[in-house]
Structure formats: structure tokens, C-alpha cells
Structure 1
Amino acid sequence: MSVVVLIGRILFALLFILSSFGHFAQSEGMAAYATAKGVPAAKAAVVGSGVLALVAGLMVLLGIWADLGCLLILVFLIPTTFMMHTFWQESDPQVKQSEMINFNKNIALMGAALALFAFFAHERHLGLMITGPLFTLH
């Protein structure tokens, strides 16, 4: 089971780790898009959310308080989903569809982050982790 959990952690965490690099390498373009979406202090929000995604992704990947890493991913996803993927405000059908797909993907990722949080906080003997969980669920 430990290897299966490790593979799952890698696949889940890679999305956030790789997307964080875009936050740093393309911060100007992402900040302009965030500004257009009404995000206050867009440049700081882009860089800050990139740091959050990177740290949280690495925590899950490496198994360093992976339960906390999952909660941090949730903290990253909630504002991103509801501020950046506002499909209900779009009138162009293609843009609306694209935003709806990203919104729904993020909702599913929120569910996965919560489920993984509960799993990591409950299961004590996962192996292949640097630390145990920070939280305890029974």
C-alpha cells in the first residue's frame, strides 16, 4: 500500500508543483489576467499563490506533514477557483465552457485534497513519508 500512496502523492502533488513554476516564470502575464478578474494586489497574489502551491505540493510529495500540505492546497484552491474561474460571468460560450471546466476541475481537486487530508491524518503507518501527520483524526 505504501507504494500506491507514494504514486498517488506524486501524481497529485506534481500538478501544484509544476503550476507554481508558471506563477514565477509568467508572473507578469498571470498578474495582468488576475487584475482583469478583479484580484487585488494581483502581482503579489500571483507570486504568493505560487509559493503556496510549491510549498504545499512539496509537503505532499515528500511526505512532510502531508496532511497540512493538503489543507494548504485547499487554501490555494478556494480563492483561485472562485475568483479566477467565474464561468457564470462569461457571455462567450467558449470562454464560459473553458472556465466551467477549470472550475469543476478545481472543485474535484478540493475534494481530493480534503480526502487526502483525512487519509493522512487518520492512517499512521503509511511508510515512505519523512514525517507523520500533524493532525489526528479518529
Structure 2
Amino acid sequence: MDVIVLIGRVLFAVLFLGSGFAHLTQREAMVGYAQSKRIPLAKIAVPVTGLQIIIGGLMVLLGVWADLGALLLAAFLLSTAVLMHGFWADTDPQARQGEMTQFMKDTALAGAALMLFAFFASHDDLGLTITGPLFSLD
């Protein structure tokens, strides 16, 4: 079972590591997109959220306080869903559909991250991790 959980952590974390590095290496494009969505302080928010998801992804991947890493990812995903993918404000049906898809993807991934948090925070013996959980839900 430990190997299956590790494979799941790897598959989950790869998305966030890639996206986080894109926040940093394609910063101007990401800032422009965030500004088009009227994100305040986009020039600061883009690299900060990039670091947030890199750190969260690495924590889940490596099993270093993976419960905290899962919370960092959930917070990013929920805020991104609401702030970046407000499909309810789009009047163009095609744009609305695209934003709704992204909103649903982000909320589903946030749900998965919250389940990971609960999993990590309620098990002391997770196997194949570097540390145990930071939080305890017992």
C-alpha cells in the first residue's frame, strides 16, 4: 500500500510543480493573465503563488509535513477557482463553458487536496515519508 500512496503523491504533485515553475519562468505572461482577471498586485501574487504550489507540491511528494503541503495546495486551488475562473461573470457562452471547466477542475483538485490533508493528518504511520504529519485529527 505504501508504494501505491507514493505513486499517487507523485502523480498529484507533478501538476503543481510544473505549474509553479511556469509561474516563475513565464512570469510576464502569467502576470498579464492575472491582471486581465483583475487580480490585485498580480506582479507579486504570481511569484508568491508559484512558490506556494512548488513548496506544497514538494511537501506532498516527499512526505515532509505532507498534511501542511496539502493545505497549501487546497488554499491555492480554492482561491484560484474563485478569483481566476469566475464563469458566472462571462456573457460569452463559449468563454463561460471554458471558465466553468477550469473552476470545476480547481474545486475537484482542492477536494482531493483536502482529502490528502485528512489522510496525512489522521495517520502516524504513512510509510515512505520523511516526516510524520504536522497536524493531528485524532
TM-superposed deviation, 1:97? 1.0
Query: Which residue does 1:136 correspond to in 2?
Result: 136
* Corresponding residue number in structure 1 for 2:44: 44
Identity fraction in percent: 57
Matched residue, 1:57: 57
Q: CA deviation at 1:95?
A: 1.4
- The equivalent of 1:17 in structure 2 is 17
CA distance in 2, matches of 1:75, 1:110: 8
CA contact (8 A) 2:87 2:96 kept: yes
Secondary structure at the aligned position of 2:17 is classed as helix
Q: TM (normalized to structure 1)?
A: 0.97
Residue type at the aligned position of 1:28: E
Q: Measure, in 1, the Cα distance between the counterparts of 2:50 and 2:41.
A: 14
Aligned residue in 1 for 2:92: 92
AA of the residue aligned to 1:27: R
The 1-side partners of 2:75 and 2:34 are apart by: 17
Contact 2:74 2:114 in 1 (8 A): yes
- Runs of 5+ in structure 2 lacking a partner? none
Per-residue deviation, residues 67-121 of structure 1 (Å, max 9, x unmatched): 0000111121122111100111112222111111110011101110111100001
The residue type equivalent to 1:61 in the other structure is L
**Which moved further from structure 2: 57-66 or 20-29?**
20-29
* Alpha-carbon shift at residue 123 of structure 1 (Å): 1.3
Question: Distance between the aligned counterparts of 2:12 and 2:67, measured in 1?
Answer: 13
Number of aligned residue pairs: 138
Deviations 1:26-54 (A, max 9, x none): 11111111111110110110111000000
Report the counterpart of residue 74 of structure 2 in structure 1: 74
**Gap runs ≥5 in structure 1:** none
Equivalence for 2:119? 119
Following superposition, the deviation at residue 24 of structure 1 comes to: 1.0
1:93 aligned partner, one-letter code: P
Give the Cα–Cα distance (whole angstroms) in 2 for the partners of residues 81 and 116 of structure 1: 19
Distance 2:118 2:39 in 1: 31
* 1:124 CA drift (Å): 1.4
